[in-house]
């Protein structure tokens, strides 16, 4: 891969990152940079606070960096979808411009799926709940470019590909159909794949998506500091190549760019 454009990054403009945006200059080399800062209304991880990006300050910082370093910084957001907050989400987005919008399902109104206890769960019920929320998000009026970490709901659970196939296959079929219809990309979240050990689930999902005709795939490290910038992108690219996908998509506003792997 010649050009890297990590499509899922956080800086201190997100509530859970302390990394200054300009610090990415140390690792981005000649590449452009986009961060996808959190927008999570009623966030269970922070006592149901509305964790919103300060768009004005963020835009000012991006403009400042672009002046100094020559138009290489782009604006992105990670929309944490919650049906009960859809009106607020749309209201927040309506007068703001982003080059890239990720769509994420982090929570169900009660808890964040990363903070589920390790107690016994009914896997079938859990999967039904999580993927129904994902489908609801994709069928909502919120527009986005990329579906982020499709396995977030099971990131902290031991789950085999066989279990995922048994319980989630019909939902994931629908997810892929919606991605194709909405011209959205499926993210290969390399933090999930290689830090949370969910690589096999991604292999399964990519194979399914390709079979159903999805052509848009993006790579995102989900880094919250510069040490994980473009984390294991070569490994994730192999998963795409094995399935006959030879390019990844970069979103830059209304412009889509493709890069050969
Ligand atoms: Zn996320
Ligand atoms: Zn993220």
The CA 99 to ligand 1 mean position distance, Å, reads 17
In the three-class reduction of DSSP (H, G, I as helix; E, B as strand; rest coil), residue 38 is classed as: strand
Residue 155 confidence (pLDDT):
94
Residue 20 confidence (pLDDT):
98
Residue 22 confidence (pLDDT):
96
Ligand having the closest approach to the CA of 104: 1
Is pLDDT larger for residue 1 or for residue 58? 58
Q: What is the pLDDT of residues 101-125, one digit of tens each?
A: 999 999 999 999 998 866 788 999 9
Both structure tokens of 41 = 């209304």
Residue 253 confidence (pLDDT):
85
The CA 9 to ligand 2 mean position distance, Å, reads 6
Residue 227 confidence (pLDDT):
97
The per-residue DSSP string of 173-185 comes to HHHHHHHHHTTPE
Distance CA 102, CA 87 (A): 18
Residue 255 confidence (pLDDT):
86
Q: Which of 149, 153, 146, 140 is nearest to 87 (CA)?
A: 140
Q: How many CA atoms lie within 13 A of 218 on its CB side?
A: 30
Q: What is the pLDDT of residues 48-76, one digit of tens each?
A: 999 999 999 999 999 999 999 999 999 99
The CA 153 to ligand 2 mean position distance, Å, reads 14
The CA 36 to ligand 1 mean position distance, Å, reads 9
Ligand having the closest approach to the CA of 114: 1
The CA 101 to ligand 2 mean position distance, Å, reads 11
- Across 152-158, average pLDDT: 94
- Judge whether 259 and 1 are in contact, CB under 8 Å: yes
Q: pLDDT band for position 148 (50/70/90)? A: very high
Q: Which of 245, 134, 127, 131 is nearest to 188 (CA)?
A: 245
Residue 121 confidence (pLDDT):
87
User: How much of the chain exceeds pLDDT 70, in percent?
Assistant: 99
Residue 2 confidence (pLDDT):
72
- Ligand 1 is a single-atom ion; what residues have CB below 5 A from it? 104
The CA 70 to ligand 1 mean position distance, Å, reads 29
Find the length of the chain: 261
Residue 161 has pLDDT above 90, yes or no: yes
User: How much of the chain exceeds pLDDT 90, in percent?
Assistant: 94
The CA 186 to ligand 1 mean position distance, Å, reads 13
Residue 41 confidence (pLDDT):
98
Residue 254 has pLDDT above 90, yes or no: no
Both structure tokens of 220 = 């995102």
The CA 8 to ligand 2 mean position distance, Å, reads 6
- Across 195-210, average pLDDT: 98
Chain-centroid distance of CA 220 in Å reads 7
The CA 17 to ligand 2 mean position distance, Å, reads 10
- Judge whether 24 and 33 are in contact, CB under 8 Å: yes
Q: What is the pLDDT of residues 162-194, one digit of tens each?
A: 999 999 999 999 999 999 999 999 999 999 999
**Average pLDDT of the residues of the chain:** 96
In the three-class reduction of DSSP (H, G, I as helix; E, B as strand; rest coil), residue 178 is classed as: helix
Give the start-to-end residue ranges of the domains of the chain. Answer: 21-260
The CA 149 to ligand 1 mean position distance, Å, reads 7
Q: Which of 80, 163, 154, 149 is nearest to 118 (CA)?
A: 154
Angle of CA points 36, 41, 157, to nearest 5°: 75
Q: Where are the alpha helices (DSSP H) in 70-160?
A: 86-93, 123-138
Residue 94 has pLDDT above 70, yes or no: yes
Distance CA 83, CA 86 (A): 5
- Across 123-128, average pLDDT: 95
- Judge whether 222 and 190 are in contact, CB under 8 Å: yes
Residue 117 confidence (pLDDT):
63
Q: Angle between the 199-212 and 161-181 helix axes, to the nearest 10 degrees?
A: 40
Q: What class is the 21-260 domain?
A: alpha beta
Residue 1 has pLDDT above 60, yes or no: no
Backbone angles phi, psi at 249, to 5 degrees: -105, 140
């Amino acid at each position: 891969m010649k050009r890297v454009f990590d499509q899922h990054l956080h800086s201190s403009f997100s509530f859970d990152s302390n990394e200054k945006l300009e610090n990415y200059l140390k690792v981005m080399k000649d590449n452009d940079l986009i961060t996808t800062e959190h927008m999570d209304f009623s966030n269970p991880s922070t006592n149901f606070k509305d964790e919103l990006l300060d768009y004005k300050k963020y835009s000012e910082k991006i403009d400042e960096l672009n002046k100094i370093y020559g138009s290489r910084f782009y604006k992105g957001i990670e929309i944490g979808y919650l049906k009960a907050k859809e009106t607020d989400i749309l209201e927040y987005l309506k007068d703001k411009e982003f080059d890239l919008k990720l769509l994420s399902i982090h929570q169900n109104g009660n808890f964040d799926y990363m903070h589920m206890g390790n107690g016994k769960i009914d896997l079938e019920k859990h999967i039904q709940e999580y993927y129904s929320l994902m489908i609801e998000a994709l069928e909502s009026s919120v527009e986005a470019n990329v579906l982020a970490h499709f396995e977030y709901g099971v990131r902290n659970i031991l789950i085999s590909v066989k279990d995922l196939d048994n319980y989630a296959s019909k939902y994931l079929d629908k997810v892929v159909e919606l991605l194709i219809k909405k011209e959205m990309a499926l993210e290969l979240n390399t933090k999930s794949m290689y830090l949370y050990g969910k690589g096999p689930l991604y292999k399964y999902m990519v194979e399914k998506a390709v079979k159903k005709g999805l052509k848009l795939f993006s790579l995102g490290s989900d880094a919250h500091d510069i040490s994980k910038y473009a984390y294991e992108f070569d490994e994730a690219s192999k998963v795409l190549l094995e399935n006959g996908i030879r390019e990844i998509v970069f979103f830059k506003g209304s412009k889509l760019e493709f890069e050969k792997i």
